[in-house]
Amino acid sequence: MAERLLDDMITKINQITTSLDGTIAQITQMSTSIQNMSQKFSEETISVNENIRLIVEVLKQFRMKSSENMQEISDDFNAKIKELYEKKSIECITEEEKKAIEIIRQAAKAVSNNLYYAQLLNVIQSIREETNRIISFKEQQSI
């Protein structure tokens, strides 16, 4: 009777040990999966940061090029005005036309600035969306 009880206890201990081994294997597998996901998340975050840096750099270059183009147009316009002035033909321009020329200059400057700010807002919105996506992904992973 005591031997049978001892055999039953040994059998149950072996079953518990086997069950614990399976649980440990599952936990190890989950740990590996979490580490892999964490590594992938880190790589994607670095990739997003690099993409954002490249986007900002492209916008800076675009801003510089558009400013150069606007400067060229302005220089050309000013040269033509100077030429007209030197020929005294600018005296024929009425006050209304002078105001229109000034309004055109201001509008060109405002359009250039608004384009730059609109692009900057788009980049900020994209960054915000990516950040929210990353945060929600991270929160889903922690659940």
Quote the CA–CA distance of 128 and 126 in Å, as a whole number: 5
| CA dihedral angle for residue 48, residue 51, residue 52, residue 57, rounded to 10 degrees | 160
pTM over 0.75: no
Quote the CA–CA distance of 104 and 98 in Å, as a whole number: 10
- Per residue in 70-80, pLDDT (tens digit) is 777 777 877 87
Binning pLDDT at 50, 70 and 90, where does residue 11 land?
very high
Q: Is the pLDDT of residue 88 over 70?
A: no
Q: In this predicted structure, what is the pLDDT of residue 63? A: 76
Q: In this predicted structure, what is the pLDDT of residue 68? A: 72
Q: Helix or strand or coil: residue 24?
A: helix
Q: Helix or strand or coil: residue 94?
A: coil
Q: CA 102, 107, 112: angle at the middle one, nearest 5?
A: 135
- Per residue in 122-140, pLDDT (tens digit) is 888 888 888 888 888 888 8
